[in-house]
């Protein structure tokens, strides 16, 4: 009886322990940082939304707006993981071309009633890609 109980407890622990095959939903876990430094060019951005309007009703998005330093552009090619987390949040992502520079980036969802309030700003520092090596120094002939 004691061996059976031990085996049962071990089996329950193994079944409840996360495995490599299990993944954490992007909208779960600790909050992401509020800034990042990346190489300028095509950058993947992502965000979570519960698919509800300000009144708590389910809504259908007709688009997304990206604000970079308060300049608005319409996001195209927005993709979604499709599967909400336990709280009902879906992860969305898009690829955006950022030139070298510092940007305050926000996202706003759009539905048939208008545009949502922007997200709090995210500080993005896009730096130039690696270049050729710097010149050698202390050249000498012996």
Verdict on whether the full-model pTM lies above 0.85: no
User: Residue 131 has what pLDDT?
Assistant: 75
Domains defined for the chain, CATH in brackets: 23-28+35-127 (2.60.40.650)
pLDDT tens, per residue, the chain with 142 residues: 443 333 333 333 333 444 455 688 999 988 889 999 999 999 999 999 999 999 999 999 999 999 999 999 999 999 997 899 999 999 999 999 999 999 999 999 999 999 999 999 999 999 998 777 888 888 888 8
Farthest-apart Cα atoms in the chain, separation: 85
Relative to beta strand 122-127, strand 35-39 is parallel
């Amino acid at each position: 009886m004691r061996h059976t109980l031990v085996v049962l407890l071990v089996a329950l622990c193994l079944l409840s322990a996360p495995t490599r095959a299990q993944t954490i939903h992007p909208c779960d876990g600790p909050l992401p940082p509020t800034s990042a430094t990346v190489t300028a060019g095509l950058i993947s951005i992502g965000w979570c939304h519960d698919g509800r309007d300000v009144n708590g009703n389910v809504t259908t998005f007709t688009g997304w707006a990206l604000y970079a330093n308060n300049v608005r552009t319409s996001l195209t090619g927005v993709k979604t993981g499709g599967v909400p987390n336990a709280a009902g949040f879906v992860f969305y992502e898009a690829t955006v071309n950022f030139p070298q520079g510092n940007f305050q980036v926000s996202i706003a969802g759009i539905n048939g009633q208008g545009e949502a309030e922007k997200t709090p700003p995210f500080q993005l520092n896009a730096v130039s890609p690696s270049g050729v090596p710097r010149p050698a120094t202390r050249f000498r002939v012996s």
